[in-house]
A and B are shown apart, each in its own frame.
Chain A
Amino acid sequence: MSEGVVRLGGVTDFPPDPVIVAGLRSGDEEVFALLLDEWSRGMLRLARSYVSTAASAEEVVQDTWLAVIRAVGTFEGRSSLRTWVYRILVNTARRRGERESRTIPVSSVDGERPDGVPPERAEGGPEGAALAGEVRALIDKAVGTLPSRQRAVITLRDMEGYGSEEVCEILSISPANQRVLLHRARAAVRDHLAAYYDGRGGP
């Protein structure tokens, strides 16, 4: 079944869209697993911009993949496959986020704070690592306080490293709007870091 599909072992180039799409349509599990492992981390992060807990974000990502499995036969290649998948994700996450905000106070979900991931302990080691862990926790927290539109843009641009064109397409926003959202988000993160380095605690 996977004849005609490039061997996917190793860390070489990610196969081009037509190869991936053909693999998905023909039921090549290796191709699907590759996609899952390449894209799910970024998808979880992006989903977290719209929903209130990590568990909820994981459900959004699962629902998105199930929709991709159902709909890959209709993919026409008018955007890249990644953009197409991410657009499904954004729609799914937005809908769920709206539902959550109508039904439950975000602060009470699972006892998890809505404004960030719990700070990670630095893996033992020298003071430098502890400091880096503290800065990471601080940035996580800063990102967690951003409005969802800003958070989505900074997640894609700075955490995932996507180009501005793809980000505009995924989020259906103009280049000017994308830049404003990104700039506000970055400035907010910078403010948190500056306050930390000034030894003033938080803003």
Chain B
Amino acid sequence: MNCDEFAELVTAYLDDALDDSSRPLFLDHMARCSGCTGYYGQFTAAITALGELPAPGLSPKARSHLLTAFREASSEKPE
């Protein structure tokens, strides 16, 4: 396995989706190649950072508009 092939398989490895023949080759390459070990570290660091991004919520106006719409729809429904 060369470095390009290694780089293409990182997500498959992380999803535990490598087949039985590729997995040992992937791990063997990482053990021998410091460049790819570094790449792997940066790749997983990017994933961690993505998970830590703050997410803004709905504006209070949109939220209250939707709660009103829900209330009105419920009161129109036949019992």
Residues of A within 8 A of B (CB): 26-27, 29, 32-33, 36-37, 40-42, 44-45, 54, 58, 61-62, 65-66, 69-70, 120, 135-136, 139-140, 143, 154, 158-159, 161, 164, 179, 182-183, 186-187, 189-190, 193-194
Contacts and interface: CB of A to CB of B under 8 A. Distances in A.
B15 A179 contact: yes
B52 to A, nearest CB: 8
Q: Is the interface of A mostly helix, strand, loop or mixed?
A: helix
A44 B11 contact: no
Given A61-B62, A69-B73, A194-B42, A120 B54 contact: yes
B55 interface: yes
Contact of A69 (B12, B58, B70): B70
Given A66-B69, A187-B7, 19 more contacts: A29-B74, A32-B70, A36-B67, A44-B58, A58-B58, A61-B58, A65-B69, A66-B66, A120-B54, A136-B52, A136-B53, A139-B49, A139-B53, A158-B47, A183-B10, A183-B12, A187-B43, A190-B46, A193-B49
B11 A41 contact: no
Given A27-B75, A186-B11, A42 B43 contact: no
A193 B66 CA distance: 38
Contacts of A66: 66, 69
A65 B7 CA distance: 40
A70 B54 CA distance: 31
Interface string B48-65: 011111111111001101
A154 B39 CA distance: 19
A179 B69 CA distance: 38
A158 B44 CA distance: 11
Contact of B42 (A32, A69, A190): A190
B50 to A, nearest CB: 4
B45 interface: yes
**Which of B12, B54, B57 has its CB near the most chain A CB atoms (within 10 A)?**
B57
Contacts of A27: 70-71, 73-75, 77
